[in-house]
Each structure stands twice: as structure tokens, then as C-alpha cells.
């Protein structure tokens, strides 16, 4: 009866699980078929129903096979049942969760109208469940033992004593039934939990499907909206095309009008040509009359010739005056050449002065370099000799004075440069005064430069004296090692500053070259200006002479005009007639110009319309391309989102698989630990029985020890299982181990072998521990040696050599503020409250903080490899 009940319960639970799975799969298929548009939806629904019926049939067949397996497998151990059932249930969940995605991915590209789920997935799932059930070797062994217990009841008691069970289970039927009932109850509870979990998974998948459907509806609405927008754009395009056709029609009409106007203009021009020919004949007649009058005017021309001879005489006199003027111009040109020579000489003097100024600037730069080197030395001396800073205030003041004098020298050199520029400007205004002022200023600058040289030499002597004092102090304060360190630091400083000085020198050279180029350009401009001025003066003289000639000629022309005025009055009548002809011609020309302008306007309008047409076409093409790009980008984004979602689900499933594997490993370890505890308790029970048989006097002590050890083992098992209480509910079955005293005798040879094996393992571990201790000692000695080397190296270096400039500034700031910390960075105590006891207490506290940090670091290093 118990076998039948177990088979029925297992068959019912599995049938309910598979029925819920079939329902969820059928819902998904029906939803997928309903969402697909088109007339093929009915056929898809029929195919989905057929697939659903086939899947249900396959599930029922598999349920029958599972029930047969369950009838064959009667009872299971609680810990092993949970160990095997949890991974199978999780595998079913994984397969259920992963199969729709795989089917979706496979069916989407191949056949979008096919069903999302078919019977192959369910068959694979059931085959995996059967495979996992078939691999339960330990359960089969326990089942065989239980069946052996039932068979031995009919066989007899003597055979049961001869063949004890392998796993230490009792042979009586009542104990087997108790264990069997517990197994059945635990299995039923596990199956109920699995059913609930599967139902929750089904609900979650249905919610996901509903969300996907809603997203699909929104995408359909978006597609409809975009189709409407495309329709609107197409309407606007058709409107624009109609407009373009209208404009083309207008162009054709305007071209026809232009052709008509050209024909009319040609006819008018022919008429005008005929009229002009007639009028030209009349003008020729009048010209003959004018020639006769011209012969009369010849006599008057002879009289004019006589007057022209008189004018030539006057012209010769004016030419003489011009020659005299040219001679004066040549004299002025010679004078200008002399002035140019003087100017070149002065420019040479100016260049020589500039060379001296450059030399002086170089000397000033050298002095700057020396000053910078002295400043570096002073800084180094300040960092190294802070205790003697009070004794060197006078040297600091002198250094400040020298720096101020050097700054004054820089300002004076800049003033000299400004004076030179002013001298150049004054030279352009007045040449003679400029040369005198330049000589005077050059003398003054020479005197000032000599003074500056003397002052700089004095300052260098002062610096040398100070350097000697500093060197004497250094020699008295430190020995040869200090001198070596100073030379090293000097070399480092000089090597570090060398590229900077080279860069500055290159910059100054570039500046000097630029200034020379600018001076050359200014000189060229000056020469051009002088030549232009001379040319201008010549042009003015020529203009004046030409004006005089023009005045004389105008007077002669006035006389001739009076004579010719009579002839002009006669010609006026002819001019009036010609004016009428010209007015008529101009009127016709204006009309032709107007027609031409209208033609140009029409052609320009046609070109503008063509350009607008091309622009509209390009805009339409651009809009279409942009729309297509947007659609493609949206499709790509949707595919990328689907891909990321699938990747996340795959990663989640992988992590779940890894967790299940870890759970299997932990369960196996836990079972091994339980077996070890059972063997220990068996050995203790054996000892207790031997003591009872021998009747030893230490009976109570051994019983108490065994009880304490058994309770310790139980506590250890409970503590080890409490960490995994959430993953596997096997910790609840631990009280079943309490029944220890009822176990039969254990083979002594097995226990002896076990003890020998454990002793050997303990000896190996002790040897390994000794080796590790020796290795650790060697490493500690090496670390101590290296620390000594590092300490000696650090102590050999000076206190300020290893610190940065920022730390030096902070130390100086603290030493100025005063207090306990200031006394650390000065030679004398800055705070009166700092005593030996207080300093020792501060040292102890700092040592405690250091030890705490080291201990924390060690614990973190020890715990970090245990966490993974």
C-alpha cells in the first residue's frame, strides 16, 4: 500500500507540474498566433492547438514514465533526495526559461508564422529530467538495502547478523518504515515547493509576455503614425511637383513672348535704318556747305599761325627757366645723397651701439644665471641649515639688496633700450640734432654701464665672501659625506636647469634675430619714403611748369575760340538736327534696352525657378534619406536592446548554473562531513561498549566525553549547515543522526585503516607546517636584512633630500606657527610645554596606531584569499 501511495503522489505532483507547464506554453503560443497579422492567423492558431495537444500528449506519456520510475524507486534518504531533487527542479526551470528564447531566436529568422514552442523542447526537457533521475546511484543503493531488509525478514534472523548493511541502517521493519515515511513526507514537501516555484515562474513569464505584447502594440502605433507622416510628406511633394509644372508652363509662355518681342524689335530697327539713311544724305549736303565755309576760315588760321610763332618764342624762354630749375634739382639730389651717406654712417654707429647693448644684455644674463645659482645655493643652505637661520639675517638682507640692485640694473637696461628707440625717432625728425644727442646719450650709457659693471663686480665680491663664509660653516658643520651630497645635489640642480637656460638662450636669440629683421625692414621703408618724397618734389615742380604752359596756351586758345565761335553758331543748327536724330536713336535704344532687360529678368527668373526646383528635389531626397536612416537606426537600437536583454538572461542563467554546481559541491562536502561524524560516533559507541564489557572504572568520564564529542559534532554540523540553510533545507534532517547507540558493530580493520590513514595525513601536514615555518623564518630574516639596508641608506641621506618642496613649505609653515609640531622641524624646542615625558607618550601613541594599521592589513591579506 505504501508503494502504491508513493507512486500515486509522485505521479500526481509531476502531472500537475507538467500540466501547468503545458498551459503556460499553450498561452504563449496562442498569444503569438493572435498577434501575427494577416489571413494566416487562423491557420497558425490551428497549428498552435495541434502543437499544444501534441505537447500535452507527450507530457502525459512522460508523466506515465516518471510514475513508473517512482514506483520502482520506493524511498530515499532525506539528505540525498534534497541533493538530487533541487538540481533537477532548477534544471527544469532553466530549460523552461531558456527554451522560449532559443525557439524565438531560431524561429524568428527562419519562419515568422511558425509557433514559438513545439514538442521538441518539451521532449528535451523530459529527457533531461529522466537523465538526472537515472543518475541517482546513491538512492538506488539505499533502495536496494531497504528491499534487502524486507527480504531478510522472510529469510531469517541468522543471515541478517552475518551480512550487516553497508550504510549502517537498521534491519528491523519498523525503523525502515519510519525512515520511509520521513522520505515520502520530505519528498512530497519538496515537490510542492517545486510546483509553487514553477507556478511563480509561469506567472513571471506571462507578465513578461504581456509586457512584450504591449511594447509590440506601441511599436505598431508608432509605425502607423510614421505612415501617416509619410502620406503627409507625399502630399506636400505632389503639391510642389504641381507648382514646378506651373512654373515650367510660365517659362514657356515667357519664352514665346520674348520671341515675339524680338521680331517686333527687328522690324522697328529696319525702319530706323531706312530713316537714318535718308537723314545721312541730308547731312552730307550740309557738310559740303560747311566745307566752303571752312575755306573761308583758312585765312583766319594763317593769322593764328603768326600768333603761334610768338607763343613759341615765349615757350623757349620758359624752357630756359626749366633748365635752370633742373640744375637746382640736381643740386638738391646731390645734397640728398650726402644726407643718405650721413644717414648710413649714423646707422652703422647705431648698429655698433646695438651690438654693445646686446653684449651688455648677455653679461646681464650671465649675471642672472650667477644670481640664480646663488639663489639655489642660498635655498639649499636654508633647507640644510635651518638651525642657523637667525645667524644669517645680514647675509639675507645683503642678498635682497643685490637682487634689488639687479632688478634696478634690469630696469636701467630697459630704460637704455627705450632711450635708443627714442633716439631713432628723434633722428627721423632732425638729423643733425639727433647725431649730437646720440653721441651724448651713448657717452652717458657707457658711463652708466661702467658703473653697473663696477657695482656688479662689487656684488660678486660680496657674494664670494658670503659663499666662503657659507663653505666654512658647512665644513665646520659637516664632514666629507656632506660635501659629496652637496655636490650631487648641485649637479642635479644644474642638470635640471641646463635645458631651461638653453631654451631661454634660444628664445633670446630668436628675439634678437626678429629685432634685426624688423630694423632692416624699417630701413628699407625709410629709403622708399625718401625716394618717394624726392619723386613727389620733382612731380610738383613739373606740375607747376606745366600749369604755366597751360595758362599761356589757354590764353591763345581763347583767342582762337573767339574766331571759331562764329563757325560754331552755324554748326549749332546742324547740331540741333543731329540732336533730334540722336534723341530718336536714344529713344529706340532705350526701348531695345527695356526689352533686353525684360528678357534678362525672365531668364533670371527661369534660372531661379530651376534652382528652386533642384533645391526642392535635393531637400526631398535628403528627407527621404533621413527618414530611412532614422528607421534603420531605430531597428538597430531595437535589435541591440533585444541582444542586451538576451545576454543578460544568458548571464543570469549561467550564474544560476554556477550556483547550483556550487550547491552540489557543498552538499557533497556536507555529506562527507556527516559520514565522518557518524564514523567518529560509531568509534565512540564501540569504545563505550568495550568499556561496559570490561567494566572499567572510568565509565562515567568516557560516557561524558562521548556525549560531549557527539554534541560537538552535532553543533558543528548545524553550524556548517546554517550557512546553506537558504539553498538546501537538509539542515532540518540533522536530528536523525542522534540515534547512534542503536547502530551495530563496525569492522575493526576498517577503523584501524582509517586511523592509520589519518595519522599519515596528520604527519604530512605537520611536516608541511614545519617547512612553512622554516620558510617564513628565512623570509623574515631576509626582510630584516633588507630593512637594515634601507634604513642605513635612508639614514645616510639627509633629512631634506628625500622630501619634496611641498613638504618643506609645510614644515616651514608649521615652524612659523609654533607649537609641538614646530619643534620637530627646528633645532630648538618651539613650545615650552614639550617635555621628554610628553614626547615619549606621543611616540607610544604613534607606535600603537602603527601596530593597529599593520594588524588590520595582515588580517585583510589573510581573509582576502579565503573569500574567493
d(CA 703, CA 530): 131
More confident residue, 603 or 59: 603
Residue 225 domain flag: yes
Q: What's the pLDDT at 329? A: 78
User: Residue range 714-732: average pLDDT?
Assistant: 39
Task: Provide the total of helices (H) and of strands (E) in the chain, helices listed first.
Answer: 15, 0
Dist. CA 116–CA 107, nearest whole Å = 7
Q: Quick one: pLDDT at residue 316?
A: 83
Domain presence at residue 732? no
Does position 700 have pLDDT exceeding 60, yes or no? no
Are 340 and 348 within 8 A, CB to CB? no
How far is it, in rounded angstroms, from Cα 36 to Cα 44? Answer: 9
Q: Is 214 helix (H, G, I), strand (E, B) or coil?
A: helix
Question: What pLDDT shows up at residue 387?
Answer: 57
Distances (CA, A) of 824 to 175, 384, 673, 799: 82, 15, 61, 12
Measured from the Cβ of residue 681, the count of other Cβ atoms closer than 10 Å reads: 20
Report pLDDT for 48.
43
Q: For residues 644-653, b (16+ Cβ closer than 10 Å) or e, as one string?
A: eeeeeeeeeb
CB burial class (10 A; 0-12, 13-18, 19+) of residue 146? buried
> Does any domain span residue 601?
no
The pLDDT of residue 390: 64
Work out the mean pLDDT of the chain and round it to a whole number.
68
Q: What is the per-residue burial (b if ≥16 Cβ within 10 Å, else e) of 380-400?
A: bbbbbbbeeeeebeebeebbe
Residue 44: pLDDT over 60: no
C-alpha cell read off for 514: 626678429
Question: Mean of the pLDDT values across residues 583-608?
Answer: 76
Residue 828 pLDDT: 65
Nearest Cα neighbor of 226 from 803, 563, 604, 635 is 635
Cα 679 from Cα 757, distance rounded (Å): 14
The pLDDT of residue 342 is above 60:
yes
Residue 327 within any structural domain of the chain = yes
CA distance linking residue 97 with residue 91, whole number of Å: 10
In three state form, how does the secondary structure of 639-680 look? HHHHHHHHHHHHHHHHHHHHHHHHHHHHHHHHHHHHHHHHHH
Q: Residue 416 — φ and ψ, nearest 5°?
A: -65, -45
Residue 101: the pLDDT is 39
Question: Which of the pair, 658 or 39, is modelled with greater confidence?
Answer: 658
Take residue 557 and report the three cell numbers written for it. Answer: 586758345
- Which of 689, 679, 731 shows the shortest CA–CA distance to 710? 679
Q: Is residue 680 part of a domain?
A: no
Confidence band of 581 (pLDDT split at 50, 70, 90)? low
Count CB neighbours of 374 within 10 A.
19
Write the DSSP string, 531-598.
HHHHHHHHHHHHHHHHHHHHHHHHHHHHHHHHHHHHHHHHHHHHHHHHHHHHHHHHHHHHHHHHHHHH
Domain count, the chain: 1
Taking the CA atoms of 833, 835, 838 and 843 in sequence, report the sign of the dihedral they define. positive
pLDDT, tens digit (0-9, with 9 covering 90-100), for 407-450: 777 777 677 777 767 766 766 676 666 556 666 777 777 777 77
Dump pLDDT digits (tens) for 166-211: 444 455 556 666 776 777 777 778 878 888 888 888 888 788 888 8
> CA 24, 28, 29, 30 torsion: positive or negative?
positive
Mean pLDDT, to the nearest integer, of 800-822?
69
Per-residue model confidence (pLDDT) at position 161: 43
Using alpha carbons, list the distances in angstroms from residue 395 to 188, 390, 431, 469, 697. 99, 10, 51, 10, 98
As a whole-number percent, the residues of the chain with pLDDT over 70 amount to: 61
Q: Which of 77-86, 592-601, 744-753 has the highest mean pLDDT?
A: 592-601
φ/ψ (deg, to 5) at 107: -80, -25
State yes or no: pLDDT of 380 exceeds 50.
yes
- Residue 113: its pLDDT value, please? 38
- On whether residue 206 sits in a domain, the answer given is yes
The whole-number pLDDT of residue 841 equals: 85
Rg of the chain (C-alpha set):
60
pLDDT at 345: 80
pLDDT of 580 strictly over 70: yes
pLDDT surpasses 80 at 54: no
Residue 731: pLDDT over 60: no
Q: What is the pLDDT of residues 94-134, one digit of tens each?
A: 343 344 334 444 433 334 334 444 456 566 666 666 655 55
Q: Where are the strands (E) in 24-90, listed by range? A: none
Among the listed residues 170, 166, 179, the one whose alpha carbon sits nearest the alpha carbon of residue 149:
170
Closest C-alpha to 93, from 208, 195, 207, 13? 195
Residue 399 has pLDDT above 50, yes or no: yes
Q: Sorting pLDDT into bands at 50, 70 and 90, what band is 75?
A: very low
Across 7-11, 432-436, 516-520, 580-584, least confident range = 7-11
Tell me which DSSP letter residue 391 carries. G
Query: Which cell is 68 given?
Result: 513508473
- Of 780 and 322, more confident: 780
Q: For residues 364 and 404, what is the distance between their CA atoms, to the nearest angstrom?
A: 14
Is the per-residue pLDDT at 705 higher than 80?
A: no
Residue range 807-820: mean pLDDT, rounded: 72
For 728-779, give the DSSP string: -GGGGGGGGGG--TT-----HHHHHHHHHHHHHHHHHHHHHHHHHHHHHHHH
pLDDT above 70 (res 488) = yes
pLDDT-based confidence at residue 461 (cuts at 50, 70, 90): confident
Mean pLDDT for the stretch of residues 379-408: 68
The more confident residue out of 320 and 31 is: 320
pLDDT of 279 over the 70 cut: yes
pLDDT (tens digit, 9 = 90+) per residue, 762-807?
A: 888 888 888 888 888 888 888 888 887 777 766 666 655 566 677 7
Q: Evaluate whether residue 159 is within a structural domain.
A: yes
CB 75 within 8 A of CB 146: yes
- The answer to whether residues 192 and 13 touch, using CB atoms and an 8 Å cutoff, is yes
CB atoms near residue 59 (< 10 Å): 24
Which element (helix H / strand E) includes 26? helix 2-35
Q: Is the pLDDT of residue 723 over 70?
A: no
The residue range of the domain holding 216 is 120-369
436's grid cell:
649730437
Predicted TM-score of the model (pTM): 0.20
624 within domain boundaries: no
- Give the lowest-confidence range in 228-242, 498-512, 525-539, 799-813: 799-813
- Asked if 240 contacts 616 with a C-beta cutoff of 8 angstroms, the reply is yes
Query: Taking 70 as the threshold, does the pLDDT of residue 353 lie above it?
Result: yes
Q: Give me the mean pLDDT over the 605-629 stretch.
A: 81
Amino acid at each position: 500500500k505504501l508503494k502504491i501511495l508513493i507512486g500515486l503522489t509522485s505521479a500526481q505532483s509531476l502531472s500537475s507540474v507538467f500540466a501547468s507547464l503545458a498551459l503556460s506554453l499553450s498561452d504563449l503560443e496562442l498569444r503569438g498566433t493572435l498577434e501575427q497579422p494577416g489571413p494566416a492567423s487562423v491557420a497558425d492558431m490551428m497549428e498552435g492547438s495541434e502543437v499544444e495537444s501534441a505537447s500535452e500528449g507527450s507530457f502525459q506519456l512522460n508523466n506515465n514514465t516518471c510514475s513508473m520510475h517512482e514506483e520502482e524507486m520506493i524511498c530515499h534518504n532525506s539528505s540525498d533526495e534534497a541533493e538530487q531533487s533541487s538540481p533537477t527542479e532548477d534544471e527544469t526551470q532553466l530549460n523552461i526559461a531558456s527554451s522560449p528564447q532559443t525557439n524565438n531566436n531560431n524561429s524568428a529568422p527562419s519562419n515568422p508564422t511558425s509557433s514559438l514552442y513545439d514538442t521538441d523542447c518539451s521532449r528535451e526537457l523530459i529527457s533531461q529530467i529522466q537523465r538526472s533521475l537515472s543518475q541517482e546511484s546513491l538512492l538506488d543503493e539505499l533502495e536496494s538495502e531497504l528491499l534487502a531488509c524486507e527480504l531478510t525478514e522472510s529469510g531469517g534472523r541468522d543471515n541478517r547478523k552475518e551480512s550487516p548493511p553497508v550504510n549502517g541502517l537498521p534491519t528491523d521493519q519498523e525503523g525502515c518504515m519510519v525512515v520511509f515515511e520521513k522520505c515520502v513526507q520530505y519528498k512530497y514537501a519538496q515537490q510542492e515547493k517545486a510546483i509553487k516555484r514553477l507556478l511563480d515562474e509561469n506567472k513571471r513569464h506571462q507578465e513578461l509576455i504581456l509586457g512584450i505584447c504591449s511594447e509590440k502594440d506601441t511599436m505598431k502605433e508608432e509605425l502607423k503614425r510614421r505612415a501617416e507622416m509619410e502620406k503627409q510628406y507625399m502630399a506636400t511633394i505632389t503639391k510642389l511637383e504641381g507648382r514646378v509644372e506651373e512654373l515650367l508652363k510660365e517659362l514657356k509662355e515667357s519664352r514665346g513672348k520674348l520671341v515675339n518681342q524680338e521680331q517686333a524689335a527687328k522690324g522697328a530697327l529696319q525702319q530706323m535704318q531706312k530713316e537714318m539713311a535718308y537723314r545721312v544724305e541730308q547731312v552730307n549736303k550740309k557738310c559740303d556747305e560747311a566745307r566752303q565755309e571752312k575755306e573761308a576760315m583758312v585765312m583766319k588760321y594763317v593769322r593764328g599761325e603768326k600768333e603761334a610763332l610768338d607763343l613759341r618764342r615765349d615757350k623757349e624762354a620758359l624752357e630756359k627757366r626749366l633748365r635752370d630749375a633742373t640744375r637746382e634739382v640736381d643740386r638738391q639730389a646731390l645734397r640728398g645723397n650726402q644726407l643718405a651717406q650721413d644717414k648710413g654712417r649714423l646707422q652703422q654707429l647705431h648698429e655698433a651701439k646695438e651690438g654693445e647693448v646686446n653684449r651688455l644684455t648677455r653679461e646681464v644674463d650671465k649675471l642672472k644665471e650667477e644670481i640664480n645659482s646663488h639663489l639655489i645655493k642660498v635655498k639649499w643652505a636654508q633647507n640644510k641649515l635651518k638651525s642657523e637661520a637667525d645667524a644669517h639675517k645680514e647675509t639675507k638682507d645683503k642678498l635682497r639688496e643685490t637682487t634689488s640692485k639687479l632688478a634696478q640694473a634690469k630696469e636701467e637696461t630697459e630704460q637704455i633700450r627705450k632711450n635708443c628707440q627714442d633716439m631713432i625717432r628723434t633722428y627721423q625728425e632732425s638729423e643733425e640734432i639727433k647725431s649730437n644727442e646720440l653721441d651724448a646719450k651713448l657717452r652717458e650709457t657707457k658711463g652708466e654701464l661702467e658703473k653697473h659693471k663696477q657695482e656688479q663686480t662689487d656684488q660678486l665680491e660680496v657674494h664670494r665672501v658670503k659663499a666662503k663664509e657659507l663653505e666654512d660653516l658647512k665644513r665646520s658643520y659637516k664632514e666629507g659625506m656632506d660635501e659629496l651630497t652637496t655636490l650631487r645635489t648641485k649637479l642635479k640642480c644644474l642638470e635640471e636647469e641646463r635645458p631651461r637656460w638653453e631654451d631661454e638662450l634660444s628664445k633670446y636669440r630668436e628675439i634678437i634675430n626678429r629685432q634685426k629683421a624688423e630694423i632692416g625692414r624699417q630701413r628699407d621703408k625709410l629709403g622708399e619714403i625718401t625716394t618717394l618724397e624726392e619723386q613727389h618734389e620733382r612731380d610738383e615742380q613739373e606740375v607747376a611748369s606745366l600749369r604755366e604752359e597751360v595758362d599761356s596756351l589757354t590764353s591763345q586758345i581763347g583767342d582762337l575760340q573767339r574766331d571759331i565761335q562764329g563757325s560754331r553758331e552755324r554748326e549749332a543748327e546742324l547740331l540741333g538736327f543731329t540732336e533730334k536724330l540722336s534723341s530718336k536713336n536714344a529713344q529706340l535704344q532705350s526701348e531695345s534696352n527695356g526689352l533686353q532687360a525684360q528678357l534678362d529678368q525672365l531668364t533670371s527668373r527661369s534660372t531661379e525657378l530651376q534652382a528652386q526646383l533642384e533645391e526642392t528635389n535635393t531637400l526631398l531626397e535628403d528627407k527621404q534619406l533621413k527618414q530611412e536612416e532614422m528607421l534603420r537606426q531605430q531597428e538597430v537600437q531595437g535589435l541591440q536592446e533585444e541582444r542586451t536583454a538576451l545576454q543578460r538572461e544568458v548571464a543570469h542563467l549561467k550564474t544560476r548554473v554556477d550556483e547550483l554546481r556550487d550547491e552540489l559541491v557543498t552538499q557533497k562536502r556536507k555529506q562527507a562531513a556527516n559520514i565522518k561524524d557518524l564514523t567518529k560516533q560509531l568509534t565512540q559507541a564501540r569504545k563505550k561498549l568495550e568499556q561496559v564489557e570490561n567494566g572499567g572504572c572510568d565509565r562515567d568520564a568516557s560516557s561524558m566525553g562521548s556525549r560531549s564529542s557527539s554534541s560537538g559534532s552535532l553543533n558543528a554540523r548545524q553550524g556548517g549547515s546554517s550557512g546553506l540553510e537558504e539553498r538546501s533545507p537538509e539542515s532540518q534532517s540533522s536530528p536523525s543522526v542522534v540515534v547512534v547507540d542503536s547502530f551495530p558493530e563496525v569492522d575493526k580493520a576498517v577503523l584501524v585503516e582509517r586511523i592509520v590513514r589519518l595519522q599519515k595525513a596528520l604527519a604530512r601536514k605537520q611536516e608541511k607546517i614545519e617547512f612553512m615555518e622554516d620558510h617564513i623564518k628565512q623570509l623574515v630574516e631576509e626582510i630584516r636584512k633588507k630593512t637594515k639596508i634601507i634604513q642605513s641608506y635612508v639614514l645616510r641621506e639627509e633629512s631634506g633630500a628625500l622630501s619634496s618642496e611641498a613638504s618643506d613649505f609645510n614644515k616651514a609653515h608649521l615652524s612659523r606657527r609654533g607649537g609641538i609640531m614646530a619643534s620637530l622641524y627646528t633645532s630648538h624646542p618651539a613650545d615650552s610645554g614639550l617635555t621628554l615625558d610628553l614626547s615619549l607618550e606621543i611616540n607610544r601613541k604613534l607606535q600603537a596606531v602603527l601596530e593597529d594599521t599593520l594588524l588590520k592589513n595582515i588580517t585583510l591579506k589573510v581573509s582576502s584569499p579565503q573569500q574567493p
